[in-house]
Structure 1
Amino acid sequence: MPRPPASHMPIADALRARIKASEWQVGDKLPSRAHLAAEYDVNPMTIQRAVERLIIEGLLEGRAGSGTYVRTPRERLRMVRSRHRERRGGSPFRADMAEQGRRGTWESHSQARVPAPDGIAVRLGIAPGDPTVRTDYEFLADGMPVQLSTSWEPMAITDGTPIVLPEMGPLAGMGVVERMRSIGVVIDTAVEVPRPGRATQEEANLLGISVGDLLTHIERTYYDTDGRSVETADITVPDVRWEIAYEIGIEQPEQD
C-alpha cells in the first residue's frame, strides 16, 4: 500500500532553513520532488505541499515546464494608517506614497444607484436596497498595484451635488473627507477593522501576487459630526508587500 502523506509543515520548515542558510541561492533550482521525497523519506505529495507553502510565502517560484526556483525576496514596506493622513488635503493615498518617494495613482469605476447589500446597509445605517454609489479602486505606486478598495456612499447624502461620483466633478481624486466637506458634511471619525485573509484568484491577478498569499482586509467607515455613516469601504492590502502600522495620537491634559 502507498504511504499516506505526512504533515508537510516540518518539511517546509526544513527547506526554509536551508534556503535561509544559503544552501540554495536566488535563482537556484531545487532538487526534484522525487529526490527530496527520498531524502526526507516522505511521500512526494508531502514535498509538493511543502513547496507550495514556500511559494505562498514568496521564497520559491514555480516555472512551468522547468521546476521550482529560489526567488528574489520581496520588498516589504510599511503603510501607516493615521488620523493625520486626512488632514493634509488632497488624496491621502497620494500623500502616503509621496512620503515614500513614490508616485501614487489609481484606476476606478463608479456605479450610481446601486442597491445597498444587507451588510453594507448595516454599516451605513440605511435600509437594504437603498441607493448607493459604489466605486471600485485599484491603487498603484509607480505603476505597481498596492491595494484594492470598494467604496459605498449613500446617495441620500450626495445625490444632486457635484460630488455624487467620487472620481468626477470639481473634486475628483480629492478623497472622501475633502469631498464631503465641500457639501457641508464634516467627517470627524474613522473606524477601521483589520482582518487577515488569503488571496483569491481574482485578487492575486489584480495585485500581482500568488493565490493564497496573505492579505489584510480593512473594513473602514467614516462618520460625520452627528455620528452618521457617510462612507464605508473594504480595503485589501497584500501582506507580502506591506505591513500596516496604526499611529494613535495621545491627547495631552489641559494646562491650568
Structure 2
Amino acid sequence: MAFGEQPAYLRVAGDLRKKIVEGLLPPHTRLPSQARIREEYGVSDTVALEARKVLMAEGLVEGRSGSGTYVRERPTPRRIARSGFRPATGASPFRQEQASPEMRGTWEASSAQTEATPAVAERLRIQPGDRVMCTKYVFRTAGEAMMLSTSWEPLALTGRTPVMLPEEGPLGGMGVVERMRAIDVIVDNVTEEVGARPGLAEELHTLGGVPGHVVLVVQRTFYASGRPVETADVVIPADRYRVAYHLPVR
C-alpha cells in the first residue's frame, strides 16, 4: 500500500457510508451482503467483513439476528441544557426545562449509602471507604431514556440532616445549591469536565443503544469555599443529544 493510501476496508466503508448519508441506502434498508460487497468492490471476504464492522462501530448499521445488517434510523440530535444560572424556583435548569409540556420530562431516582471508591474519594477529597450517599437517576423525555446520572455526597457533611436523601424530605428534588444552603453550606463554584467513551453494557441497555455506541460523560463537582460537596457522572448518548452550555459573563 502506497504512503497515504487508505486500507481497502476503509475505502469500502467510506463509500458505503457516503451512500447512507446521501440517502442512497435509506434507513431500514438491508446493507449489501458480504458476497455482494466482495464482488462490487473487488475485495476479499475479510475486507468486506471489516468494512461492515466499521459501519457498525459508527452506529450507521445494526445487525438483526438471522436477517442481516440494516441501515439504522439516524436521529436528529437534540439539545440538553447545562447552565451556569440558577432558576428562581430552586430546581435545576435541566428539571425546569424538562417540566415544560413540550418536553414531557420525567425522572426516577434511588439512593443508598455506600463506601467511596478511590476515584470518588479523590473527587470529594475524602478517604476511600468513607461513607457517601449514592443517588442514581434515569431521566426520560416523552418516555424515552435520554440521560443517566450517578451522584455522590459525603455523609460526613449531609448525614443526619434534612437533606441527607437528595430526593426525599423537605427539599427533596431541589438542586444541590439549594439543598446545601439549607444546612448552611454555601456552594459557590461548580466544575464540569466533558469526555466521551464507549457506553457500558448496562448504560446502553437503559438508554436504548447498541454495543459500541459512544456516550458523553459530564463529570460535575460542586464546591463550597473550595471543598467538594457533591460529585456526579452524567451519561448522555452521543448520537442523539448535544450538550449546550449557557454561562454568565461577569
TM-score by length of 1: 0.87
Partner of 2:45: 44
Within-5 A mapping of 1:23-172: 23-85=24-86, 88-98=89-99, 101-112=102-113, 114-172=114-172
Distance 1:85 1:40, change over 3 A: farther
Match of 1:215 in 2: 215
**SS across alignment from 2:85:** helix
Structure 1 residues 188 and 88, CA gap change in structure 2 (3 angstroms)? farther
1:141-181 deviation digits (Å, cap 9, x = unpaired): 12111111111101111111111111221222122222112
Give me the whole-angstrom Cα distance separating, in 2, the residues matched to 1:28 and 1:178. 51
Query: Which region of structure 1 is more displaced relative to structure 2, 60-69 or 152-161?
Result: 60-69
> Given the superposition, is the C-alpha separation of residues 87 and 213 from structure 1 closer, same or farther in structure 2, using an over 3 Å criterion?
farther
Q: Where does residue 248 of structure 1 map in the other structure?
A: 247
- Residues 220 and 7 (structure 1), Cα distance of their counterparts in 2 relative to 1, 3 Å cut: farther
Counterpart residue number, 1:235: 234
**Offset at residue 202 of structure 1 (A):** 1.6
Tell me how many residue pairs correspond in the alignment. Answer: 244
Structure 1 counterpart of 2:246, which letter? E
- Tell me if the contact between 1:150 and 1:235 (Cα under 8 Å) persists in the aligned partners: yes
Once the two structures are superposed, residues 24-50 of structure 1 have per-residue CA deviations (whole angstroms, 9 ceiling, x without a partner) of 233322221111122112232332332
**SS of corresponding position for 1:164:** coil
User: Structure 1 vs Structure 2: percent identity of aligned residues?
Assistant: 42
Gaps of 5+ in 2: 1-6
- 1:192 correspondence with 2:175: no
**Counterparts of 2:144 and 2:173, CA distance in 1:** 19
User: Which amino acid letter does the alignment assign opposite residue 170 of structure 1?
Assistant: P
- Once residues 25 and 212 of structure 1 are traced to their aligned partners in structure 2, the CA distance between those partners, rounded to angstroms, is 22
RMSD of aligned residue pairs (Cα, Å):
2.0
Q: Which residue number corresponds to residue 177 of structure 1?
A: 177
- CA deviation after TM superposition for structure 1 residue 131, in Å: 1.1
Structure 1 residue runs of 5 or longer lacking an equivalent are 1-5, 252-256
Q: Relative to 1, partners in 2 of residues 1:121 and 1:209: Cα closer, same or farther, differing over 3 Å?
A: same
Paired with 2:204 and 2:86, the residues of 1 have a C-alpha distance of: 27
Report what 2:13 is aligned to.
Answer: 12
2:210 partner letter:
S
CA contact (8 A) 1:94 1:103 kept: no
Deviation at 1:241, TM superposition (A): 0.7
2: CA distance, partners of 1:199 / 1:83: 27
Aligned CA distance change for structure 1 residues 87 and 215 (closer, same or farther; 3 Å): farther
Q: 1:234 to 1:42 in 2, by over 3 A?
A: same
TM value normalised by structure 2: 0.89
Structure 1 SS opposite 2:127: coil
